[in-house]
Amino acid sequence: MIILGLEGTAHTIGASVINDEGEILSDVRKVFTTEEGGLIPNIVAKHHIQEGPKVIEEAIKEADIKEKDIELISFSQGPGLPLSLAVCKNLARDLSKKLKKPLIGANHICGHLEIGKLLTKAKDPVFVFTSGANTQIIAYEGKKYRIFGECLSIALGNALDKFGREIGLGFPAGPKIESLAKEGEYVKLPYVVKGMDVEFSGILTKSINMFKQGVKKEDLCYSLQETFFSMLAEVTERALAHCDKKEVLLIGGVAANQRFCEMLEIMCKERGAKFYAVPMKYSGDQAAMIAWQGYLEYKNGRRIENNFDIKPGWRIDQVEVNWI
Q: Which stretch binds ligand ATP (CB under 6 A): 140-148, 169-177, 265-273, 297-305?
A: 169-177
Residue 173 binds ligand ATP, judged by CB under 6 A: yes
Asked if residue 172 binds ligand ATP (CB under 6 A), the reply is yes
> Does residue number 131 form part of the binding site for ligand ATP (CB under 6 A)?
yes
Q: Which is nearer to ligand ATP, 12 or 26 (CB)?
A: 12
Output the CA–CA distances (angstroms, integers) from residue 8 to 14, 147, 250, 289, in the order listed.
7, 23, 22, 12
- Give CA angle at 151 (75, 107), nearest 5°: 15
Rank residues 52 and 172 by Cβ distance to ligand ATP and give the closer one. 172
Min dist CB 259 to ligand ATP, Å, is: 8
Residue 78, class by beta-carbon neighbours within 10 Å (0-12 exposed, 13-18 middle, 19+ buried)? buried
Which part of the chain contacts ligand ATP (CB under 6 A), choosing from 137-145, 157-165, 270-278, 291-299? 157-165
173 vs 304, beta carbon nearer ligand ATP:
173
Long-range pairs for 260-268: beta carbons < 8 A, 24 or more residues apart = 260/130, 260/225, 260/229, 260/232, 263/229, 263/230, 263/233, 264/128, 264/229, 264/232, 264/233, 264/236, 267/233, 267/236, 267/237
Write the Ramachandran bin of 78: left for phi over 0, alpha for psi from -120 to 50, otherwise beta: left
Q: Does 134 bind ligand ATP (CB under 6 A)?
A: yes
Q: Which is nearer to ligand ATP, 125 or 157 (CB)?
A: 157
Rounded CA separation 24/291 (Å): 9
Of 176 and 245, the one with the shorter C-beta distance to ligand ATP is: 176
Cα–Cα–Cα angle for 79, 82, 87, rounded to 5 degrees? 105
Q: Which is nearer to ligand ATP, 1 or 43 (CB)?
A: 43
ω into 53 cis (within 30 of 0): no
Q: Which of 161, 166, 197, 265 binds ligand ATP (CB under 6 A)?
A: 161
Neighbours of 113 (CB within 10 A): 25
| Helix (H) or strand (E) segment spanning residue 107 | strand 103-107
Give the residue nearest to ligand ATP (CB). Answer: 253
> 153 CB contacts (<8 Å, ≥6 apart)?
199, 200, 201
Q: Which of residues 260-289 bind ligand ATP (CB under 6 A)?
A: 284-285
- Kindly state whether residue 136 participates in binding ligand ATP, applying the rule CB under 6 A: no
Alpha helices in 41-166 (DSSP H): 41-62, 82-99, 108-120, 156-166
φ/ψ of residue 17, rounded to 5: -110, 130
Positions in 239-258 near ligand ATP (CB under 6 A): 252-254, 256-257
Give the other-Cβ count within 10 Å of 256's Cβ: 20
Judged by CB under 6 A, the stretch of 51-59, 172-180, 298-306, 315-323 that binds ligand ATP is 172-180
| Binding map of ligand ATP across residues 69-98, x = CB under 6 A, - = no contact | -----------x------------------
User: Site for ligand ATP (CB under 6 A): how many residues?
Assistant: 23
Find the shortest distance in angstroms from Cβ 18 to ligand ATP: 19
CB of 272 to ligand ATP, least distance (A): 27
Return residues touching ligand ATP (CB under 6 A). Answer: 9-11, 80, 131-134, 157, 160-161, 172-175, 178, 252-254, 256-257, 284-285
